[in-house]
Chain A
Amino acid sequence: MFRRLKEKGVLGMNARIGSYMLPHNHRRDYPKVDDKVITSQLAELHGIPMPENYRIFDSYGGLRELDAALAAHRAFVIKPARGSMGNGIIVITDTIDGGYIRADGRPTSLRFLRYHMSQILSGLYSLNGYADRAIVQYLIVRHPVFDRVAMDGVPDIRVIVFRGFPVMAMTRLPTRESGGRANLHQGALGAGIDLRSGVTTHCVWRNTIITRHPDTGEKIEGITVPGWKEIIVMAVRGYDMSGLGYLGVDIALDRDRGPLVLEMNARPGLAIQLANLTGLRSRLELFKGLDSAGMSPEERVQKALEIIPAR
């Protein structure tokens, strides 16, 4: 029954957990990527660029100073430190007369932001429901290369890193349906990226293959991501930072600051296989016996590109 999935080298949910996450990701390393506050501290140590955290709130009392903290910034993002799948994130693109404009154009108030942040603190969006911290963060400015294929939001690039080697990559393009969020299960597009060239290939939307953006009608194939080498090297360094053998690294391309690591994920999703029309398992198998000890990130990228068969 599952023969054809196996032939295509598709990675299923059970195998992802049982054969890759559990053996290669140590539980003690999870907080390094699950908590964005810890991630950003580690990233600073390792010299991996991330969006600047303007302010971190860890108590309800602290929220009284919210307006003062926000006053210095016109645009920003509010996120839970331990959120997952993009839940609980609010993007403010502009500030007008003390009111705030969200990514989809709806206005909102300071009162709502304060309420939302108290929800974050209470653990509503956190992975296991425990109390959480709320981060006010620099808002990435979309790189012009994505202007015509991303609606109301910033696309990001997801690279799967296995034991320090880049294995597969895609870019996640927000749509109107996803509300500016770059999460596939919320309706964002996923476009596969050729690891060698950094050029987009196929595109998946809600588990079906499409060729044009559902909002703009623009062709999605053939976009060259600028600074691709730098991006995968950055992704691969996430392994050195976190120690997680099976890792998803999310990188956004800022117009002014270049590539920035948004977050890392110890449980990266499986849709990347559809975006690349390639089974992940067959790719992962290529790296099974390979030892990355003593190799620099650049060398590992070089090695991976040698191993992965050309399209």
Chain B
Amino acid sequence: MKLKPTIALSAAGLLFNPATGDSFSANPVALEILGLLREDAAPEAAKTAVLARYEVEAHQLDKDWDDLVAQLRQHDLLDS
């Protein structure tokens, strides 16, 4: 699972898709995950990093991860 390489991601949490002109704002946890994906981190590695850094249970993160993926798919931001 990878972000489309053309997606621009700013440190302030703004996403821009030049193919569609759509812009998005990401909250801090989403920004961290997107940054990890941008660096080609595998999903499990990204989750491990989030679990180490944030106060969240693994099952909750799993559920929220699926929801984030659904959001990214809905907005056509994933490569595959």
Q: Do A and B actually bind?
A: no
- Chain B residues within CB distance 8 Å of chain A: none
- Chain A residues within CB distance 8 Å of chain B: none
